[in-house]
Structure 1
Amino acid sequence: MSDYPKTQDLMRRGAEFLGSDYAILCGAMSWVSERNLVAAISNGGGFGVIACGAMTPELLDAEIAGTKALTDRPFGVNLITMHPQLSELIAVCAKHGVGHVVLAGGIPPKGSVEAIKAFGAKVLVFAPTIALAKKLFRSGADALVIEGMEAGGHIGPVSTSVLAQEFLPALAEEHLVFVAGGIGRGEAIAGYLEMGAAGVQLGTRFACAAESIAHPDFKKAFFRANARDAVASVQVDARLPVIPVRALKNKGTEEFTAKQREVAGLLDSGVVAMGEAQLQIEHYWAGALRRAVIDGDVEAGSIMAGQSVGMVKQEEPVAEIIDGLMAEAEAALTRR
């Protein structure tokens, strides 16, 4: 681990909170953020986060145990708030003494934050508005992640730079706020740290690391892509609200549009209720993502990627990626 005094000084609060050398979180990428990548990020001085996604409690149990076998450094677990077995997943985290739990995908259900804090873990949440962020902090959240629309996967409508300008002046003095979405170089990290961020979260830069289990064809698609290739999905029916997903444009993005029309038709005919319709959409994404990441189907699968994908040009070890980001941030702060 190298020494980057100016950057580490600005990251100190975030790094102490995470228990890592650097306040660089890895975004939870389903099928990608598993034991090998998570452990490598934590061993490299960052903070790895397991993407639980649609895992059963048994699978999460095995994944946490597998990660512990590869690192003795702190790491976290990302849980989706709409998971039907959320309480059981929290119990698995408690069993393993997980130190940090990230709640994503919506407002945490009643009692979930309390259940996590009951076994001594820290809670990280997402919030699209300052009012909701303040409410979540009052409810016990320990840190906030603000994620702009430049990110890969499920996204909101506002850019990272605008969110940072809104949230950091209002919250960063009293609370820990991590900035995410489209961050690909250390100069951007330095800028957000200077604005008051406790640290940053990156996903796309780590997706094709040497330690990532993603299929070689998935990685090659990243290496060929530029920022304009990472497009947001389109909602085709106002009655079927779909959270946009950013991924590399391919046949799969077209198939998703067709899938929405199909589900909207089932909704029209009364074959499925709204909840089931939305679940079908989520299942589509989970399956399409697996086809791309694990099977290497980069035509019909979902190649979720943020707009920083153009900065991913080759496979590199995680430690080199982290050191490169820190060196860029340090050089930027030194030039100032």
Structure 2
Amino acid sequence: MERNSVTENFSREDYTVGWICALAPELAAAAAMLDETYAPPAVFQQDPNDSNVYSCGRMGQHKVVIVSLGAGMPGKVPASTTATSLLRSFPKIRFGLMVGIGGGIPAKIAEDSADDIRLGDVVVSVPHVESGGVVQYDHGKIVHEGQFVQTGSLGKAPTILLKAVQRVQAQHDMQGSSIPELLEKILQDRPKMAIKCQRPDAEDCLYQAHRCDARHLVQRPARDSDEPVIHYGLIGSADRVMLHGPTRDYLRTAKNIICLEMDAAGLMDKLSCLVIRGISDYADTHKSDRWHGYASIVAAGYAKELLTVVPEPTREPTAVELMPVSD
């Protein structure tokens, strides 16, 4: 069957993966990763309170429904509302993938390649110590002498996804990632996407946190390849854009956060979810849209790689059944 051809529709109960995006480039990247696109579910009457617009298709052996938060509507409240409506309209969703862009927090020691986050890399949320993978770093209380103390914790990704992440890590160690091949094929099939989704020619510049001008570039060794490096760790989520280098660096030092974004905190307790972010900026005053397309499509490429190793069960448990049990 021709890739991305529209075929007969399916029941809403056939869809088991919810893919959530926030921005238009992320939505385009997700749709481009589908192996087939499908018509809306048969006899599908959308709930009057569900304002989502869905795209349906197949990725590998999984039937996937893609949904966005809406133009100009980032943040945890729209994300929470989107997830709630998704589960109401597609009751057999097993888990969610929040896929898109994020701000990378670079390591201070750039020579350590494991921590050397650069533009176009991918960060995947995985549990660390007492955190489930996503940290709502602006949620807490002010205590003695004005000190801010973070309170509460968010849910973590379902075990089946965390095991799939480990499997993908092993595959990458043995044979590398298939993201470059996926990207090449997509740009061949859809040449118009190359305008926004090719790796930018712009230089990847990281500035010192306290001195954001061209005289204070951080000197980093050149990489052997332009292929994205995959990083695993904590992703910080808040209802505000981070444009401050010193605060960004503090979050890495104090909380082990390696990437920042604005939406995932609204999802984690509604839909058992893994967060995948392509790095489009360094969360400082040099933030721009230049890397959005490329960062979106490499994140989507990782998500597709992940789904290839997630088994499709004979009876699909629901998202509620897959929510991690509290310790």
State the TM-score, normalized to the length of structure 1: 0.31
- Looking at secondary structure, tell me which structure has more helix per residue: 1
- Looking at secondary structure, tell me which structure has more strand per residue: 2
